[in-house]
Structure 1
Amino acid sequence: MNKIPVMIVEDDVRAIYTLESTINQHAQFQVVAVSESISDAKMQFELYTPTLCFVDISLPDGNGVEFIGEQRKKNTLCDFIITTAEKDCSTVKKSVQLGVCDYLVKPLRMSRVMQSLDDFIPYRQQLDGKNELNQGDIDSLFGKSSLSKPRQTPKGIDDRTLSSVRQLIQQNKMNNFSADEIGKKMQVSRVTARRYLEFLESEGEISLILNYNTGGRPSRLYQVNGD
């Protein structure tokens, strides 16, 4: 299967690591280019013609929103996702007007980046190869809610286990903890523990911290928000 080519336009080293490692972990996406400036991004964009592009707003030699606007004027088929610390309404509104797929606020969370990638797949599939869309297709593209009652938790997340993880963290006043620690205390695999921690992160209850003091690849630690 051909992977979806992705380009990153970003000058923040930690954001680049988060984006590149998360994107390349996804089975259907691959980073083909990384640019740390607008001038380099323009050259790389023409060379690699990405299908999806993550763009920071504040770059050393220009504005990422303006870069997206320039590419839109060229009728590019690429889709864009904003990555930024800016949250003012005017910037968000301008980005929406340019038709960006998503708007990710820094510090970036791996689970949120993965969610953005997962959301992009059905979005692209609905548009590719179709000359006309029905109302259901259009509603889905514009994020209109379904009439059916949504699940309380996503597939793979058991309510009881989730409650036990929350209780474990709260009762032990845990902070700077890893999926390995949670897995050992819960007597579950590291993969399972990580799945529940990523869900809690997506809910804003905990935050992922990358520990760079490992002498090698940074380790993943979690902190309870609000402490």
Structure 2
Amino acid sequence: MIDVLIVDDDFRVARIHRGFVERLEDFRVVATASTGEEAIAAVEQLRPDLVLLDLYLPDMFGLDVVARLHTAGHDCDVLVISAARESDNVRRAVRYGAVNYLLKPFSFEELRGRLEQYAARRSTLSKSMVCDQGDIDRALTSSSPITGSSALPRGLSPETAGLVEEILRKQAGTLSAAECAHQIGISRVSARRYLEHFAAVGRAAVTLRYGNTGRPERRYRWTVRSGS
């Protein structure tokens, strides 16, 4: 059983998220907190395995909560659930070791997919010794929304791939590599590598937009249903 602490300053949102988590048999909610100080105290007392952490808290920024937990020696995992779309916040969350970053609002299926990936990663790392390099690769990539046939080729980061996927999933229409790069804060060439990977494994569709001159622009659209 994986113990979960939910941190959100809106009690109605926290109640919804608690209901989502409690629908999963391998997870249980041990407490909710509405401020950063409450969250830190709850981690100290209850030692949860996973914290679902909002970033906009009334007394401190959510990632400052993570920093304080690290300083205090707590090793609980953190899954950020927030409306914060700033690329600086996403990069900082990755640097702080967040297992995932889920944008609000989200569906039960979207949260379930990420929690199941987390549980799989946790199960792999619970062994006293990994069997082979494949175990390590699966553990390092399962915190990303990418699953199954979309295992990443060499040189692509699971964290960045997760950010590209999030942007594609939320996009109402199509997205170019330049637009994706601008939203995340990476180069256009890098963004195109991730987008082309998703297209190659069947998770994104590519269309061409023709202008008056030059090569047609490649545009991408996520094709996998939510939660997949």
Using the size of structure 1 for normalisation, the TM-score is 0.61
Separation in 1, partners of 2:227, 2:22: 20
Query: Counterpart in 1 of 2:83?
Result: 85
Q: Cα RMSD (Å) of the superposition?
A: 2.4
Q: Deviations over 1:125-173 (max 9, x none)?
A: 11113245632112112328899689xxxxxxxxxxxxxxxxxxxxxxx
Query: Counterpart in 2 of 1:42?
Result: 40
- Number of matched residues? 153
User: What SS is found at the alignment partner of 1:59?
Assistant: coil
- Which amino acid in 1 is paired with 2:84? E
- The question of 1:121 aligning with 2:149 is answered no
- Which amino acid in 2 is paired with 1:90? D
Query: Counterpart in 1 of 2:103?
Result: 105
Query: Counterpart in 1 of 2:92?
Result: 94
Aligned pairs for 1:1-227 (under 5 A) are 3-132=1-130, 134-143=132-141, 200-202=225-227
| Alpha-carbon contact 2:112-2:227 (below 8 Å) kept | no
- Which amino acid in 1 is paired with 2:19? S
| Alpha-carbon contact 1:18-1:109 (below 8 Å) kept | no
Query: What's the offset of the Cα at 1:200?
Result: 4.2
Separation in 2, partners of 1:13, 1:128: 33
Separation in 2, partners of 1:93, 1:14: 28
- Which amino acid in 2 is paired with 1:141? A
Separation in 2, partners of 1:92, 1:109: 20
User: What SS is found at the alignment partner of 1:142?
Assistant: helix
- Which amino acid in 1 is paired with 2:100? D
- Cα distance change of structure 1 residues 127 and 202 upon mapping to structure 2, 3 Å threshold: closer
Structure number with bigger Rg: 1
Using the size of structure 2 for normalisation, the TM-score is 0.61
| Alpha-carbon contact 2:130-2:136 (below 8 Å) kept | no
User: What SS is found at the alignment partner of 2:141?
Assistant: coil
Gaps of 5+ in 2: 152-223
Q: Percent identity?
A: 25
Separation in 2, partners of 1:4, 1:80: 13
Query: Counterpart in 2 of 1:162?
Result: none
| Alpha-carbon contact 1:4-1:29 (below 8 Å) kept | yes
Separation in 1, partners of 2:150, 2:49: 33
Comparing 41-50 with 131-140, greater Cα deviation is found at 131-140
- Which amino acid in 2 is paired with 1:81? L
Gaps of 5+ in 1: 151-198, 204-227
Query: What's the offset of the Cα at 1:102?
Result: 0.8
- Cα distance change of structure 1 residues 85 and 129 upon mapping to structure 2, 3 Å threshold: same
| Alpha-carbon contact 1:57-1:65 (below 8 Å) kept | yes
Separation in 1, partners of 2:14, 2:148: 38
